[in-house]
Amino acid sequence: MAIKSHKLGPGSLTFGEVASEEEFASQLRSASLTPDVEEEDPIPVLSGEEMAGDEDYTWTIGGTILDDYTADSLAVWANTNKGQELPFEFLPNAETGTLKVTGVAKIRPIAIGGDVKTRNENDFEFKVVGQPTFGTIA
């Protein structure tokens, strides 16, 4: 197989229902969809064999945003919508890639602030409800 590698961006990351979605891309310094695997221990049986333990896959969607100290900032939006489960769409690279990931995320508040006299950034992480869907740009 030939080597393939793309840069992240230009792309998009939106949360919310169609026609009222919130676009995060213009404030994002990084973005990722991250899996986590919980694996149970193998189950030994009398014969000496082991049955593989169950695996549980969970995901988060998150990244790092530039702070914006206005009333319509992403931090204010996240706090206003905290606890809601909203659809998301992640296009890592709309120019050279075709990957589109969709799903539902549980919105959590995002930190505000940091060091004085600097352009602050804060990380955010939203739990993906269920499993994300991997598709292609139409």
* Domain-embedded: residue 53: no
Element of type H or E holding 77: helix 74-80
Q: What tens digit of pLDDT does each residue of 53-99 get?
A: 889 999 999 999 999 999 999 999 999 999 999 999 999 998 887 89
Structural domain count, the chain: 1
For 90, the domain range is 12-32+60-136
* Domain-embedded: residue 54: no
* Domain-embedded: residue 44: no
pTM: 0.87
* Domain-embedded: residue 55: no
25: left (phi over 0), alpha (psi -120 to 50) or beta: alpha
Q: How crowded is residue 120: how many other Cβ atoms within 10 Å of its Cβ?
A: 16
Q: How crowded is residue 74: how many other Cβ atoms within 10 Å of its Cβ?
A: 22
Q: What tens digit of pLDDT does each residue of 102-124 get?
A: 999 999 999 999 999 999 999 99
* Domain-embedded: residue 105: yes
Cβ pair 125, 62 in contact under 8 A: yes
